Structure 1
Amino acid sequence: MPVTEASRVVRGGRSRLRTEISATFRPADPVARALTAASLSLTVANGMFYAVSALLFTRAMGIPAVTVGVGLTVAGAVGVATSLGAGFLADKVGALRLLTLCVLAQGISLAVFSVVDGVAAFVVVACLATGTRQAGASARSALVARSFTGPSRVEMRARLHVVVNVGIGIGTCVAALALLVDTPTAYRVSVLLVGLLAATGAVPLALLARRTDASRRLAGPPEERPTVPEQAVAAGRSPFRDPQYLTVVALTSVFAVHFGLQTVGLPLWIAGHTEAPTVMISVLLVLNTVLVALFQVRFARGATTVPGAARTMTRACVVLAVACGIYAAAAAGDVVLAVVLLVLAGLVHAAAELWGEAGSWTLAFDLADERTAGAYQGVSAMGYAVAMMIAPLLVTVTAISHGAVGWAVLAGLFLLVGLGFRLGERRWAPRRPEHLA
C-alpha cells in the first residue's frame, strides 16, 4: 500500500491501542475506576507475594515444605467457607463496604507475615489472608453484578482480568530484587511492603463510597433495571435451591482446575518429565500473562448471551483437552521438540483460558437471581475456591504420577465437562425475578 496509507493504518492502530489501554486502566465509569485501582494494587502485591512466599515460609520462618503445604490447604478450606459466606453477607451489608473491609484486612494479614514465626502462627495468618482474599473475590463479583448490566458486566470482568495479569507480572518482576538478595530479612521486608501495598487498594473503594451518585447506584440492582422494593430483594431465591445454577457452578469449577494445572502441574512436568530447560516454566507463565492481557477483552465479546457462553465453554473444554495431549507429547521428544511442543501447548492453553473465563462470567451473572446477586456470586466464588484447593492433588495424582495416561484422564475430564455445557446450551435460561418477568 502507499506510504501515506500505511502511515494512517499505523496511526489508527496506535490510536485504538491507546483507547483500549485507557478503557482498561483509566475507565470513565467511577465504579470501574475504583475497582481497577484497587485490583491493580492488590495484584501487584499478590505477584510479589507469590514470588517470595515459599522462600519466606521455608527459609525465613524455617517451616518444612510439607508443613507449608498442609497449612496452605487448611487456609484454602477456610477460603472456601469465607467466599460463600461473603456472598450472602454482601446482600446484607453492601458489596462495596464488604469489599473495602476485605481488602484492608487482607493487606494487614499479609503484612503480619513479616513478623510471625512458628507453625501455629503461620497457619492462623495464612487462614486470615486466604479467607479475606476469597471473601473479597465474592464481594467484588457481587459489586460488578450490582453495578453493571448485560455485556458490560462481562466486559468489566474481562478488563479486570487483564489488570490482574498485568499487576501480577509487575509484582513478580519487583520481587526479583528480594530473590537476588536472597536473605530472610529481604523476604520479611518484601512481604511487609506487600501488605502495605495491598492495603492501599482500600483507598479508591472508600472514596467511591463517599460519592452520592455511586451510593445510589450501588444501593440496589443495576440502574438500568426497574427499582426493586427491599422486601422483594429479601425474598430472592437461594442459590442452593437453584439446580440450574449449581450445575453451572460445578461444571465451571471443574474447568477451573486448569489454573492448578498451570501453576503446579506444569512446573513439575517440565522439570521432572521433559528434556526442556526449567526456564520454560517462566516462559510459559509470561506467555500466558501476555496473551491474556492482549486478548481477554476481545474474547469476552463473543460470550454475551447464555447460549453463546455455553458454546464458548464447550469450545474452551475441547481446546483444553487438546492442550493436555500436547503437554503429554512434550515428554517424548528431545530438547528442541519439547520446547516447541510446550510453547504450542501454552498457546492452546491460553486460548482455552480466554474462552473459558469469558463464558464462565456470563453464565455466573446471567443465570443468577438479581435479587440475591451477592449470594449467587458467593456460591460461584466458592466453586472456584474448591477448584483451587483440590487442583494440586488432582493434577499430581493424574498427569505427574502416571504420565501420558494421567494426561489422558485430565483430557477426558475436560471433554466430559464440555459435553455438560453442550447439553445445557439449549436448556439453561436466564433467571429473572417474577415481578420483572
Structure 2
Amino acid sequence: MFLDKVTISVKAGNGGDGVVSFHREKFVQAGGPDGGDGGNGGNIVFLADRGLNTLIDFKFKKHFRAEDGSAGAGKNCSGKSGQDLVIKVPVGTVIKDAETGSVVADFVKDGQRKVLLRGGRGGKGNARFATPTRRTPSFSQRGNKTEEHKIILELKTIADVGLVGFPNVGKSTLLSVLTSAKPKIANYHFTTLSPNLGVVKYYDNSFVIADIPGLIEGAAEGAGLGHDFLRHIERVRLIVHVVDISGVEDRDPVSDFEKINAELDAYSIKLAGLKQIVVANKCDLLGDLADEAVDDFEKRTGIRPLKMSAIMQDGIKVLLDEIWNTLKDIPESEPFEVDEDFQFEIVDNQSYEIDRMDDGTFVVSGGFIDMLSKNVVISDVDSNRYFQKKLIERGIIDDLRRRGAKEGDTVEIGDIEFEFVD
C-alpha cells in the first residue's frame, strides 16, 4: 500500500532526576553528599533511507517517544542517558509542524539526518549543591521535562522528469518502455494509484522519471486524489505531458492538454512555469491520419507534439534525445525552504505568574515554580534557605511586594504555603 502523507506525534525523552544521597561507609563519619546527576533524555532523530518508498510504516503507529534519562544514584553515580529514537523515512520526505505548517526538515539525500527534538537535560544531584556553608544539602534538581509535538510527514517524490496526463493516455506503458520499471498496465482509468519511478539510462548518463497517476479536472481543489498526486511533481525539473492523440474515447487531446495545465497552474506557479515536452501518444491507432491529428494539435495550441506509440515503441529515441537535451540545461531542483528559525515550543522552566485570590491569598505558579518547589524539603534548613535564595534571585519576592503582599499575607508556591515576611 502506498501512503504519502501522515500526521504523527513525537516526544523526546525527559531528563532524569538528580538524587539526594549521603556517603555511608563503615568507620567514615560525615561522608557528605554523594547524590549523582540524572541522565539526559534521548533525542528524536529522523534518517532518510533510500530503501523506503512509502510512509506505510506510520499508518498504524502514530506515537513515537525517545527513552527517558535515568535518575542519578548514590556514590556520585550519574544516571544513564536515554537512547535516541531514530525514525527512518523515505528520501523525499518533508516534515512540517502540524500547528503552524512550517517546514522544519526536507530529506533529499540518502543518509541525511536531522535531530528534530532534543531530550531534556538531567537534573543535578545534591552533591552539586554542597558549598563551604552548605555541607549537607538535602535537596536535588529534577530533570527537564519535554512535551509531545504533532508533525506532518509528506512524501514528495524525487525525480527529474514527471509524466503527466489524463488517465489511460499511456503514461505507464511509456514508463515501462523508457525504464526497467514494471508498473501495472491495463486498459481502464486509474490503473495507476501511486507514483512509479524508473531510472532512464541515456548513453553514459541517467535520470529519474516518475509516472504521476492520472489527473482529472479539479485535481488542484482535491477532486479525485487531487493533491495526493500533484505533490509528487513539485520537485521535478521537466514535465513530459502525454496526450491521447487518437481520441478513441471521444476525448479531445487539446482540451485535455489545457485542462491539465490549468490544474498545474492552480496548484503551483512553479509547476506552471516548468518546461514541457508534449507527446502525442497512440499514433498507431490513427495510421495515416496521425500526421493530420498532430498538425491540428499544433494549429490549435502553437505546440508541435512528438509523435509516439509507446506500445509499439515508436518515437522513443526521439523522445529520449529531447528529454536529455532539455534536462541538461535545467539546474537541479532546490530543496524546500526550511524555516531555520523555527523551534518547537518547549517546557518553559523560567516563567512564573502571580495571582491574587478572592480570600487575599497570593498564588505563584509556572514552570520555574514547578521545577523549584518539587526539589525542596521545606523542613530542612539548607533546603529552605536555597528555596528562598532562588525566589529572591528570580525577583519573585520583589514582585509580590509590588502586587501588594504585606507582612502576614498567605502565599502559595507550588505545594508550599507560608506567611509573607517583609
TM-score (norm 2): 0.23
Please state which structure has a larger fraction of its residues in helix: 1
Who wins on radius of gyration, i.e. which is larger? Answer: 2
Please state which structure has a larger fraction of its residues in strand: 2
TM-score (norm 1): 0.22
